[in-house]
């Protein structure tokens, strides 16, 4: 870790500037969470609607009590188990958290990342860093510094390069302000893992199903992660999916459209597309999750116009993968 760089990043944020930095999930675009002008700058840099609240990142559990009205016992238990890590919890906010940071809500999302550089940077910045994913609004979240540069060069004061992120999908979000805890965004910390601590949890169905209901996390309502090409998910038995997609591909080849496929190690060689990307072994969900956003961005760089993706199992991390893929596809799914 570059200690001098981290100290400098901390000074920039304290002075009201913006720094993009790595976390274990995706890169974040950080500003002082307690400074409303910093939050406004974050929205402007991302081109993000300002009703879409930011996550406040902390470096130690003790920092939590200052920014929330109360800490329910369930949060203490969840923190003991999954913080630092890819879990965001929603609380009622304390007065010191500006509405500019929470998108006008009286609740605040808080996460303590496990990434060493991220934690050091948060501490150096005064302890409270608002950080959405460091992409331009609507694009896939960046999993390496080169994608942050692609989206935000010239719009931020500094970019900290920490190589590729480990998890590759954004944190799980759980709302603890309701009678029963509700998962608002699925992620690496799965429903099963949360139930180990909480007994039972609800899932905001608008966040995980193929529905058009308004989700409770404001950000989940926006089209997201969308590649420039049109993306269709094809679900069904493996051989049938390959046969169907290859028929489609030959149609687009004749039309002269550049095509791409999101596949797995088991199937990648059998697709006849201009660009075939394997996300990894089908059984290795962590690998699949890590590579999804990069694949979507690479299709853009290659100018791919039509993309087909295999579907993935719901359950475990697969639920988070399918949630992001469905949003990227604008919920366009063909079931064979
Ligand atoms: O892994 C992550 O969470 C990454 C890294 C950088 O930490 N951050 C991230 O932030 O994904 P962002 O802003 O891209 O996504 C935050 C999501 C949005 O969907 C937003 O609507 C929701 O969290 N959210 C934030 N505060 C909320 C609140 N008070 N109530 C409900 N949803 C909230
Ligand atoms: Mg985001």
The tens digit of pLDDT for each residue in 3-62 reads 999 999 999 999 999 999 999 999 999 999 999 999 999 999 999 888 889 999 999 999
* Region 135-154 average pLDDT: 95
Is the four-CA dihedral 89, 28, 158, 114 of positive or negative sign? positive
In the reported structure, the alpha carbon of residue 272 is separated from the centroid of ligand 2 by a whole-number distance in angstroms of 33
In the reported structure, the alpha carbon of residue 137 is separated from the centroid of ligand 1 by a whole-number distance in angstroms of 13
Q: Say if strands 306-310 and 87-92 run parallel, antiparallel, or are unpaired.
A: unpaired
pLDDT one-digit tens code per residue, 251-300: 999 999 999 999 999 999 999 999 999 999 999 999 999 999 999 999 99
pTM summary value: 0.96
Q: Which atom of ligand 1 is nearest to the CA of 173?
A: 23
pLDDT, position 45: 97
* Contact criterion met (CB below 8 Å) for 173 and 109: yes
pLDDT, position 333: 94
pLDDT one-digit tens code per residue, 66-94: 999 999 999 999 999 999 999 999 999 99
Domains and CATH numbers, the chain: 3-203 (3.90.870.10), 230-335 (3.40.50.11030)
Phi/psi class of residue 265: alpha, beta or left (left: φ > 0; alpha: ψ in -120 to 50)?
alpha
- Protein residues within 5 Å, CB atom, of ion ligand 2: 133
* Region 129-147 average pLDDT: 96
Q: Which residues partner with 185 through β-bridges?
A: 173
Q: Which atom of ligand 1 is nearest to the CA of 105?
A: 29
Q: Which atom of ligand 1 is nearest to the CA of 131?
A: 6
pLDDT at position 314 over 90:
no
CB neighbour burial string for 90-112, b if at least 16 within 10 angstroms, e if fewer: bbebeeebbebbbbebebbbbbb
CA 270/CA 286 separation, integer angstroms: 23
pLDDT, position 75: 98
pLDDT one-digit tens code per residue, 101-125: 999 999 999 999 999 999 999 999 9
Q: Which atom of ligand 1 is nearest to the CA of 27?
A: 6
Is the pLDDT higher at 21 or at 227? Answer: 21
pLDDT at position 318 over 90:
yes
Q: Give Cα separations from 9 to 129, 146, 331 (angstroms).
A: 11, 18, 39
* Of 113, 154, 168, 137, nearest in space to 284 by CA: 168
φ, ψ dihedrals at 252, nearest 5°: -70, -30
Ligand 1: which residues within 6 Å by Cβ? Answer: 23, 25-26, 28, 52-55, 86, 88, 90, 102, 105, 107-109, 111, 113, 131-133, 170-171, 173, 184, 217-220
* Region 225-231 average pLDDT: 90
pLDDT, position 271: 98
* Contact criterion met (CB below 8 Å) for 143 and 27: yes
User: pLDDT > 90: what percent of the chain?
Assistant: 88
Helix (H, G, I), strand (E, B) or coil at 91: strand
* Contact criterion met (CB below 8 Å) for 302 and 229: no
- Per DSSP, the chain holds a count of helices (H) and strands (E) of 11, 15
Q: Which of 88, 160, 168, 221 to mutate to test the pocket of ligand 1 (most atoms within 8 A of CB)?
A: 88
CB neighbour burial string for 60-80, b if at least 16 within 10 angstroms, e if fewer: eeebbeebbeebeebbeebbe
pLDDT band, residue 138 (cuts 50/70/90): confident
CA 197/CA 176 separation, integer angstroms: 13
pLDDT one-digit tens code per residue, 198-223: 999 999 877 655 555 666 777 666 66
């Amino acid at each position: 870790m570059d200690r001098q760089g981290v100290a400098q990043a901390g000074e920039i944020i304290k002075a009201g500037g913006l720094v993009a930095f790595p976390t274990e999930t995706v890169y974040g675009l950080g500003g002082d969470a307690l400074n409303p002008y910093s939050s406004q700058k974050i929205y402007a840099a991302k081109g993000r609607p300002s009703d879409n609240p930011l996550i406040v990142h902390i470096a130690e559990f003790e920092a939590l009590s200052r920014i929330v009205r109360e800490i329910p016992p369930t949060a203490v238990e969840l923190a003991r188990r999954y913080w630092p890590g890819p879990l965001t919890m929603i609380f009622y906010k304390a007065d010191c958290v500006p509405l500019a940071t929470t998108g006008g809500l009286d609740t605040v999302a808080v996460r303590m990342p496990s990434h060493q550089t991220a934690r050091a940077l948060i501490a150096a910045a005064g302890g409270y860093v608002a950080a959405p994913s460091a992409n331009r609004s609507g694009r896939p979240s960046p999993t390496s510094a080169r994608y942050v540069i692609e989206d935000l060069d010239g719009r931020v004061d500094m970019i900290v390069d920490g190589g590729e992120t480990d998890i590759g999908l954004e944190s799980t979000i759980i709302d603890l302000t309701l009678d029963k805890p509700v998962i608002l965004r699925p992620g690496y910390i799965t429903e099963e893992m949360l139930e180990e601590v909480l007994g039972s949890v609800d899932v905001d169905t608008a966040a995980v199903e193929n529905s058009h209901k308004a989700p409770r996390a404001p950000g989940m309502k926006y089209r997201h992660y969308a590649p420039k090409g049109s993306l269709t998910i094809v679900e069904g038995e493996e051989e049938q999916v390959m046969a169907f997609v290859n028929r489609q591909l030959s149609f687009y080849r004749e039309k002269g459209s550049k095509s791409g496929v999101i596949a797995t190690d088991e199937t990648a060689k059998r697709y006849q597309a201009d660009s075939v990307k394997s996300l990894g072994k089908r059984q290795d969900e962590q690998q699949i999750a890590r590579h999804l956003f990069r694949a979507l961005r690479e299709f853009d760089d290659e100018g791919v116009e039509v993309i087909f993706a295999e579907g993935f199992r719901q359950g475990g991390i697969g639920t988070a993968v399918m949630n992001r893929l469905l949003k990227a596809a604008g919920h366009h799914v063909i079931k064979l």
